[in-house]
Homo-oligomer: A and B are copies of this chain.
């Protein structure tokens, strides 16, 4: 399984040794973990950072005057710096920590949607969104009289740019909230063009970068977007922490989402005033340990480098498309030109749940179902697909194991 995409900089076997879980046996077989798009595994560095914090310096942060509280505040706030650097944010105060992507998007729908947008304006999403980037806008629509528009996708699973552009004709669109990379099809949208068209019509753009952040170097200034949401657990970090980046001048205009400790400047019963961004949006005790773990995860991927990771994943994806494409009865869903390491497929005469269970029986972990994207499934007349997705620790050998396993499943069913 020792395939090195770029022998000088990327040694997948060395990387695999950083992930303790990869030596597990599953149902007696070597683990082949191809479910990273749902959530990635955690390197030793992340585990150690969290353990170290709990064993040597843990305390609540931000108002503590004692040594441990000060050290932990520093460690937590260092995560904000790391996230700002990762995304090339122009200011660390533009990084808001949330629970996950879903909360980041709900914060947007609530605080930007109800707080800044006006009744009668419209939000544009696409035909390949995760439920987390659909339902918050439906709640906004129903509560606040905002129209919801869906930019269609093509049969290849790409954003239909012409149709997208047409949605702005009446000038009502206030916000585009769109996935940067589909968690089902792997398609990457042409982000700069998406932004350019929206901005030309006076609309702001939020990307749901939950998938893209793992596969690409994200530079929010180069993208030109206004908000960018992602989630720590997919970037090799812990659960319980996500990020919303937003332009400072926009964040400053937005009312708070939740109220509580840490987000206030002063409180009287009559009236409270808010802390400056980002704290205005971070109510209550934050996910302190998770911030510390996320910092370690960001440092980990930065040390490897996105160029090397992206090249590795591109090679894996190419190999997987070639191998799966050759298996009789396997149909790959989505043929986007620009795509990341996520592949959905169906197998004739076998339901995707059976496929997943029978692969699992061989130690191969894939996901099956609607992948929290029911409208997208319907777009392709499907109820569900099986999905294999790759991380930095995925090897060409594992993809071969998937292909061989699938061939067995097909034969088992015929």
Contact = CB atoms under 8 A, between A and B. Distances in A.
B26 A39 contact: no
Given A60-B35, A138-B259, A99 B99 contact: yes
Interface in A243-302: 256, 258-264, 266-269, 271-272, 283-290
Contacts of A288: 39, 233, 239-240
Contacts of A231: 284-285
Interface in A27-60: 27, 31, 33, 35, 38-39, 41-42, 46-47, 50-51, 54-60
Given A35-B64, A285-B239, A135 B259 contact: yes
Given A35-B66, A240-B240, 9 more contacts: A27-B67, A39-B60, A47-B55, A102-B260, A132-B283, A134-B259, A148-B269, A240-B290, A266-B374
A26 B58 contact: no
Interface string A342-365: 000000000001001101100011
A131 interface: yes
B365 A66 contact: yes
B271 A138 contact: yes
A197 B266 CA distance: 32
A238 interface: yes
A224 interface: no
Contacts of A55: 20-21, 47
Contacts of A263: 135
Interface centre among A59, A105, A267, A359 (most CB of B within 10 A): A267
A215 interface: no
Nearest to A68: B365
A153 interface: no
Interface string A79-119: 00000000000000000000111110110010000000000
Contacts of A320: none
Is chain A's interface secondary structure helix, strand, loop, or mixed overall?
mixed
A375 B267 contact: yes
Contact of A360 (B42, B67, B135): B67
B56 A24 contact: yes
A54 B21 contact: yes
Nearest to A259: B135
B24 A260 contact: no
Contact of A135 (B50, B54, B272, B366): B272
B365 A106 contact: no
A150 interface: yes
Contacts of A21: 54-58
A65 interface: yes
A353 B64 CA distance: 10
Contact of A103 (B39, B135, B284): B284
A106 B259 contact: yes
B35 A58 contact: no
A210 to B, nearest CB: 9
Contacts of A109: 259
Contacts of A100: 284-285
A286 B239 contact: yes
A28 to B, nearest CB: 11
Given A39-B59, A269-B148, A132 B261 contact: yes
Interface in A128-175: 130-132, 134-136, 138-139, 148, 150
A286 B262 CA distance: 23
A327 interface: no
B375 A268 contact: yes
A263 B372 CA distance: 10
